[in-house]
Amino acid sequence: MEPKYHLITYGCQMNKNDSERMEALLKGVGLSPTSVKEEADVILVNTCSVRQSAEDRVFSVVGQFASLKKSKPELIVGITGCMPGRDRDGAIRKRLPIVDLYFPTKDMGQLPRWLGELRPALVNSTDPVEDYLKVHPDREVTRQAFVSIQTGCNKFCTYCVVPFARGLEKNRPLKDILDEIQDLALHGCVEVTLLGQTVNSYQAPDPEHFSTNNPYKDHFAGLLWEVNQIEGVSRLHFTAPHPLHMTDEVIDAMTLPAHLNYIHLPVQAGDDDVLRRMNRRYTAEQFLDVIDRLRAKIPNLAIGTDIIVGFCSESAEAFERTVELYEKARFDISYTARYSTRSGTAAWRAFKDDVSLEEKKRRWNVLQEVQERIVYEKNQAYVGTIVSVLVDRYEPPKITEEMLAMPKNIQAVLAAQPGTCYGNSREMKLTRFAASKEYVGKIVDVKITKADMWVLEGELT
């Protein structure tokens, strides 16, 4: 019987992209995927460490494997991702006694060798891969794809585990990135999202592969230009940039035809003292200057952000300055987090987590109310306009109990009605409209008839 693996992925888009590489490795040595963990010979969990709740979820799910491991002693359980990456003293590892493999993402290429050592008959090859970023991700053929251009980070924000979990910044060769995107385009991909911890700090280790007619000196702007030249890629996005690297050239490159009309630009706080303690390396005024430069070049640009409330010693007045910055920037969406201490970080060593949980919740609610008001106001401008949507989901018509009580011929007519298609506009606004399943994967024009906070409703034009 063919050996099987079960892969669980938590966390960000980069973790999902890493798991696609892991799937390629596992399939390459003869394992096949299964969605049923009881069938698996290998269970791997790709972990996130951004908050304590993310790690607690991993401890819980691994605990559930204990009984499975007891009934199936040969089962291999592995933990990878950010948790092992940041576990410098082995304290986390001690809490996972049933785990056989425990390794950071960068060591993923050793999986064939490790599996062969634990169960020699399980794999058909034990040859390791020295650079896991060279592994071609195993993707289902889709219209959308995430492409990592960089891993690790050099910024050392005091609250963040990424430099410890993923190491220092490492940029992929330009040629590898462009070859991967070219291959995606040849297989029907139309939307590419470039991934990096501070994605716009990208520096090509092989700049000789930039086209001679590329107009940009900034390497990230140059990469955006190169991707724009790839036939078939009509929607281009990147996440997450750092405000320090939003050069005029990068902003100019965002006006190229493929680029989506959206940017996700983390601010984290609106108070200069808090930003300094976070080691964000910019002031609130400097961040707002980036916003002004973006909107001067792209007036209708939709902008999202990340904010942390309740960071160490954030006073009520400091929080109000974050609210003021939000009002000035008028973000289209914010992913707001309540600060939680992460062991090993500079904030854990140097600062006291002295804002109460109740106050963190209150501040979160204040920002949520501001966000909902602003996004509802901004979304009204879409009513009556036409947006371009890449359809990625379909829901059939709902069959209600009332419908089931109707005559069969009426049921048939109602069941034949179109369902609902969903997708994002170029502003990353979730949009829905009545249509059949055949539209999934297509780019269509939708005239917006109604705008809510988190969804635009419309009809095909």
The per-residue pLDDT for 43 is 97
Arithmetic mean of pLDDT, 406-419: 74
The confidence band for 408, taking pLDDT boundaries of 50, 70 and 90, is: confident
Whether 353 has a pLDDT exceeding 90, the answer reads yes
Phi-psi region of 43 (alpha: psi -120 to 50; beta: other; left: phi over 0): beta
- pLDDT tens, 163-215? 998 999 999 999 999 999 999 999 999 999 999 999 999 999 999 999 999 99
The per-residue pLDDT for 140 is 77
Q: 308: which strand partners?
A: 337
Which of 145, 147, 133, 164 is closest to 50 using CA atoms?
164
The alpha-carbon radius of gyration of the chain (Å, integer) is 24
The per-residue pLDDT for 398 is 79
| 8 A C-beta contact, residue 65 and residue 97 | no
Whether 5 has a pLDDT exceeding 70, the answer reads yes
The confidence band for 141, taking pLDDT boundaries of 50, 70 and 90, is: low
End-to-end CA distance of the chain: 52
Runs of H (alpha helix) within 229-315: 248-253, 272-278, 284-297
The confidence band for 230, taking pLDDT boundaries of 50, 70 and 90, is: very high
On the CB side of 419, how many CA atoms lie within 13 Å of its CA?
Answer: 15
The per-residue pLDDT for 417 is 73
Averaged pLDDT score across all residues of the chain: 95
- Domains of the chain plus CATH, in order, are 4-132 (3.40.50.12160), 137-380 (3.80.30.20), 383-460 (2.40.50.140)
The per-residue pLDDT for 52 is 84
Whether 14 has a pLDDT exceeding 70, the answer reads yes
Q: CA triplet 31, 34, 40: central angle to 5 degrees?
A: 70
| 8 A C-beta contact, residue 187 and residue 236 | no
- Chain position carrying tokens 């696609």: 20
Q: What is the dihedral of CA 114, 120, 123, 126, to 10 degrees?
A: 50
Whether 152 has a pLDDT exceeding 90, the answer reads yes
- pLDDT tens, 360-393? 999 999 999 999 999 999 999 999 999 999 999 9
| 8 A C-beta contact, residue 367 and residue 326 | yes
The per-residue pLDDT for 139 is 86
- pLDDT tens, 44-83? 999 998 888 889 999 999 999 999 999 999 999 999 999 9
The confidence band for 431, taking pLDDT boundaries of 50, 70 and 90, is: very high
The per-residue pLDDT for 1 is 78
The per-residue pLDDT for 414 is 64
The confidence band for 401, taking pLDDT boundaries of 50, 70 and 90, is: confident
The per-residue pLDDT for 416 is 67
